[in-house]
Chains A and B, each alone.
Chain A
Amino acid sequence: MSTKVRRVYGYLAEFSNASQLYKAAEKVRDAGFKKWDCYSPYPIHGLDDAMGLKRSILPYFVFFGGLTGFFTAIALAYTTQVGLYPTIVQGKPANIFTIPAFFPVMFELTILFSGFTVLFGLLALMGLPRWNHPIFASKQFARVTDDKFFIAIEARDAKFSAEGTKSLLDEIGGANIELVEDDSE
């Protein structure tokens, strides 16, 4: 047995079906917790409402990402095709009226930059990639990929207390309540 002092990650409680998880999530939300999460083998419709999750700010990033792509494309196509190296094709002008020819580039770069913003913005907001997550210290948590549903309330939450949180999880029907400790140094 190691005698190292370990940081407490939080409480983990097991639920046996989606409906239990859903109802429990509503109660945890109403108790005012902020730093907690639900874990389920599959997506559950409406769980974000039950958890009281706010809408992500990602769409705003994506909008400006797309806008950046749009203007990058205009600048790229215009400087190369009009400024640096005008290409006369089929007697088309090489000025701003060539803009229909730039549309595919504008479209593609808008999509590309939006796509990149989605991917990297999402990873950044979720704090990914990471090597490990403290919750993996729990043995029973492996079943989340199979047939069990979990709620974990983090110790970082202002409302967290060793006794109170445990009894709350107990009250809302959680089984196998476990204090998860961070084993990753």
Chain B
Amino acid sequence: MAHQVTSKDIPVNGEHLDGSKLARVQTITGGIAAIGGLVSILFLIFGNGTVHGSYAFSWLFALFFVLTMTFGGCFWTFLHNLSNSGWGTSVRRMMENLGFVFPFLFVFAIPFLFPGVQKYLWEWMSSYDTAVKARPNLGSSEALLRSDNAHDHLLAAKTFYLNPTFWYFRFIGFFLLLGFFIWLVRKFSIAQDTEKKPSTDNLFAARKHSSWAMIVFGVSMTFLALDWVMALDYSWFSTMFGVYVFAGSALSSMAVLILTGIFLQKYGYLKNVVTREHYHIMGKLCFAFTVFWAYVSFSQFFLIWYANITEETRYFLLRNTENWNLVSLSLVFMHFAVPFLALLRSDVKKNQKFMIGFCCYILFMHAVDVYHMIIPERGPSVGLVVDHKAQLWIGASWIGDILAFIIVGSGFIFLYLRNLTSAALYPHRDPRILESANLHN
């Protein structure tokens, strides 16, 4: 048995990440995010043409990838509080910090509020506007039904949900509500660190408010995924889609948490409170969500494949045309089979060297997954809007994907590091911190 951790091993004021060591990383990532982000946002708002439309999709891909990780951070935080878990008290602050990146990402989402970007991404908005403007004295459903474009009839039945006013309202609502709750729960946790009279009031408050927060999380995540990604093709619908996005979120965020834990320990933090046992549990959660992701994504495919209904199959038809088929197939083997077999053994999950590489791999495959959700729609959409001709792939558009990925990714790293440095690295006054430090599973 390892040395029993006692309250003597826990610093009275908690461990704080030394900001000066990270100054360079923060300057670089912050610089890239600020300059790149500003240029990109201006380009997205004022640009025009194929490159512009193509970059709108790149931006959505990059932002949604980062969003899913922060969603996962929110989910783990709320779940941890709700279930009153003892094991993860020493890694809980990392979850809170990851989740708290979410509200700041609104900055990167601003371009989506502009019609210049919306016309490529969400064609239903253009159809809606055109139809409603053509027949201003009719209701929106009625106007769409009488539209000259036969495709608009599919939209007519969905106007209660897919109408611009409600869409903007939801857009703001997601960020305000979920942003507020993750801020609130994190605030309780941090307030406990510095209370004049140490108590568990904040802990209980965090637990209580995590209950609403969990519902807000579920609704926000699901409908944000529906609004931003599923609505790329308004004729398509899948009731599994929210769960599918959630499975990827939980998986990728757990990979981020493991990576953060390992790197923090490498630089001498969390030494007393995070052990191999924590990595074992987090590895198990990675394994579980690998399986869950496969279960959900296959179910979605399977039901649509089996039923063979025209409106539903379009999503998978497009993603199995020509080279997209390779991406779809690679998800089956590389996003499920490989991680599944690799994570079966328990000693692998406790091997930090292996997990560094493996978590990067999971994040890469998650990026491929998000790419596969969003980018296949780009050729048809941008092609139709610009040249009135659907295409499968837009040449050289991958450059924009990488560029957007680097810019938004840098923004994510900058914000995450900012959160990590802004409070103690673990809740050292949580009464369960010793239970967590001496974890055995």
Name A residues whose Cβ lies closer than 8 Å to a Cβ of B: 45-46, 49-50, 55, 59, 63, 90-92, 100-101, 103-104
Measured between beta carbons, the chain B residues less than 8 angstroms from A90 are 306-308
> How many whole Å from A185's CB to the nearest CB in chain B?
42
| Contact flags B272-309 to A (C-beta < 8 A → 1, else 0) | 00000000000000000000000000100110011110
Instruction: Knowing A63-B344, A90-B308, say if A46 contacts B302 (CB, 8 Å).
Output: no
- When the two chains form their complex, are residues A46 and B1 in contact, meaning their CB atoms are under 8 A apart? yes
Q: Is the interface of B mostly helix, strand, loop or mixed?
A: helix
Measured between beta carbons, the chain A residues less than 8 angstroms from B346 are 55
List 22 contacting pairs A-B, 8 Å CB cutoff, sorted by A: A45-B440, A46-B1, A46-B440, A49-B1, A50-B1, A55-B346, A59-B344, A63-B344, A90-B306, A90-B307, A90-B308, A91-B308, A92-B308, A100-B298, A100-B301, A100-B302, A100-B305, A100-B306, A101-B306, A103-B298, A103-B302, A104-B302
Measured between beta carbons, the chain A residues less than 8 angstroms from B1 are 46, 49-50
Q: Is the interface of A mostly helix, strand, loop or mixed?
A: helix
Excluding A100-B305, A100-B306, 10 further A-B contacts by CB distance (< 8 Å) are A50-B1, A59-B344, A63-B344, A90-B306, A90-B308, A92-B308, A100-B298, A100-B302, A103-B298, A104-B302
Residue of B nearest to A63 (CB): B344
> How many whole Å from A96's CB to the nearest CB in chain B?
13
Measured between beta carbons, the chain A residues less than 8 angstroms from B308 are 90-92
Q: Which of B299-332 contact A (CB under 8 A)?
A: 301-302, 305-308
Measured between beta carbons, the chain A residues less than 8 angstroms from B302 are 100, 103-104
Residue of B nearest to A104 (CB): B302
Measured between beta carbons, the chain A residues less than 8 angstroms from B301 are 100
Measured between beta carbons, the chain B residues less than 8 angstroms from A104 are 302
Residue of B nearest to A49 (CB): B1
| Contact flags B329-353 to A (C-beta < 8 A → 1, else 0) | 0000000000000001010000000
Residue of B nearest to A91 (CB): B308
7 closest residue pairs by CB, A with B? A90-B308, A46-B440, A45-B440, A100-B305, A100-B302, A49-B1, A103-B298
> How many whole Å from B340's CB to the nearest CB in chain A?
11
A103 vs B297: C-alpha distance when bound (angstroms): 13
A101 vs B344: C-alpha distance when bound (angstroms): 26
Measured between beta carbons, the chain B residues less than 8 angstroms from A100 are 298, 301-302, 305-306
Measured between beta carbons, the chain B residues less than 8 angstroms from A63 are 344
| Contact flags B342-379 to A (C-beta < 8 A → 1, else 0) | 00101000000000000000000000000000000000
> How many whole Å from B27's CB to the nearest CB in chain A?
46
